[in-house]
Structure 1
Amino acid sequence: MAPVKPTRAERARQTRRRMIDAARRMFVEQGYAGTTMDQIAAQAQVAVQTVYYTFRTKGQLLTEVVEVTAAGDEEPVPVPERPWAREMMSTASAERVLALGVEHGTAIYERVAALWPAVGAAAAVDPAVDKYWRGVTADRRGGQRAMVAKIAELGALRPGLSTDRATDLVVVLLGHDVYRGLVQDAGWTPAAYRAWLLATLVQQLLTTEN
């Protein structure tokens, strides 16, 4: 029996994945400025015209790499619709809300952190990447505010702590700079960082009666 040939759509997905994988490796290893579309095409074993046709610009390719890497897969499922996010917004335990936010938020950082230098370099020279990254930051704050609102709905916010102030704390503590400082710079393991972060958020946000 002859092997089943992949469909045109499947071949296109495979080609796109090769380009994204090649770009990710090169952006991490060589930085944004040190990586060219020609090099990515050579690594992915496609014509450079294919890279430009698919992604248009190097900045757009980088944002696609970040999106796929952050998601951990190529399924176009928005974060609020993913199973863990649905559980977070339906649980009756404030500590479980925080635990899910910490677990999955830091998992994204573990996947994406190596790309942050490339994103910073690209945002400095490409307004489209800068706009994209500002949008990522705004979306992250929105998601974290929803997490805080859920805790408030459960009546578990620490007395005297407003939703706005609690959101500020989460944005900073569950943010890129703290992850970078403790894991990348200080050498903490991701597990140690997650344990510290969860304990800190519980102490800072939740009522002692929870």
Structure 2
Amino acid sequence: MVEANSGNRRGYDNRGRAEQARRTRARIVDATRDQLLAQGYRATTMAGVARAAGVSTETVYKAFGTKSALVKATYDVALVGDDEPVPLAARPQMRALLADPDPASKLRRYAAVARTLADRIGPLSSVLLAGARGGGDPDLEALAATIDEERLRGATALVTHLAATGGLRAGLDADQARDTVWTLISPDVHRLLVADRGWSPDDYERWLADTLVAALIA
């Protein structure tokens, strides 16, 4: 009986430590996002994040390893809205898109997802991309390239799915279709229309949906 109770207690302690570690990571990620938005990439430091999160600098390094890894983790959490280990393609909105039999409806669902993601990461993307364009930081430039590559993979997956389900317009080159989607969902396009030109998020979503339909299936 004592051994069984000890085992239960160890299991409880392990779960408690795991939850504490998760909360600590979340505080660090939140602090990183706030620092990036307030002062940019270069002025954001591991020590500054640690102070803002109320942890030691060593804790930040142990949890994330490098500044670029910390910033990428912060971006990923902002992108999907939580820290659950569930890829975007497996989220309910994307599963509904894949199951929808109507190509135009698929693209309108895709525009809704793209709008949600852009709303979440728009300001953070602007900070990171502006820093990368300034040059002089190979880690940041590599991070920006990774983010672009992930967007390209997402665009490729959409076009591949449309082609496989008969939704892509006949005669349309798949590579050009992919590049069109990749461009339309760029954070730069979202920034230009919403932040610079004053479009509402609803306006952006409608425009994106209509443009995707016209470009890919109409």
TM-score range normalised by the length of the shorter chain: 0.7 to 0.9
Is contact 1:71-1:108 (8 Å) kept?
A: yes
Is contact 2:126-2:187 (8 Å) kept?
A: no
**Aligned with residue 28 of structure 2, among 19, 27, 32:** 19
Does 2:43 align with 1:72? no
TM-score between both structures, scaled by the size of structure 2: 0.84
1:122: Cα distance to partner? 5.4
- Partner SS, residue 32 of structure 1: helix
Match of 1:52 in 2: 61
- Partner SS, residue 74 of structure 1: coil
Aligned counterparts of 2:38 and 2:20: Cα–Cα separation in 1: 27
1:100: Cα distance to partner? 1.9
- Partner SS, residue 109 of structure 2: helix
The aligned amino acid for 2:57 is V
Pairs within 5 Å for 1:163-178: 163-178=174-189
Does 2:45 align with 1:36? yes
The aligned amino acid for 2:141 is D
Aligned counterparts of 1:32 and 1:100: Cα–Cα separation in 2: 33
Aligned counterparts of 1:18 and 1:33: Cα–Cα separation in 2: 20
Pairs within 5 Å for 1:1-210: 7-120=16-129, 121=131, 124-207=135-218
Aligned counterparts of 2:56 and 2:153: Cα–Cα separation in 1: 40
Residue correspondences, number: 204
The aligned amino acid for 1:100 is R
1:15: Cα distance to partner? 1.0
- Counting aligned pairs with the same residue, the percent is 36
TM-score between both structures, scaled by the size of structure 1: 0.87
Q: Which has the larger displacement, 64-73 or 85-94? A: 85-94
Is contact 2:132-2:144 (8 Å) kept?
A: no
Q: Which has the larger displacement, 121-130 or 23-32? A: 121-130
1:129: Cα distance to partner? 3.6
1:132: Cα distance to partner? 3.3
The aligned amino acid for 1:23 is T
Per-residue CA deviations over 1:15-62 (Å, capped at 9, x if unaligned) read 111111111111101111222222211211111221122222222211
Is contact 2:155-2:179 (8 Å) kept?
A: no
- Partner SS, residue 143 of structure 1: helix
- Partner SS, residue 157 of structure 1: coil
Aligned counterparts of 2:42 and 2:153: Cα–Cα separation in 1: 31
Aligned counterparts of 1:58 and 1:118: Cα–Cα separation in 2: 15
The aligned amino acid for 1:21 is D
- Partner SS, residue 42 of structure 2: coil
Greater Rg over alpha carbons, structure: 2
Aligned counterparts of 2:167 and 2:210: Cα–Cα separation in 1: 15
The aligned amino acid for 2:47 is D
The aligned amino acid for 2:191 is R
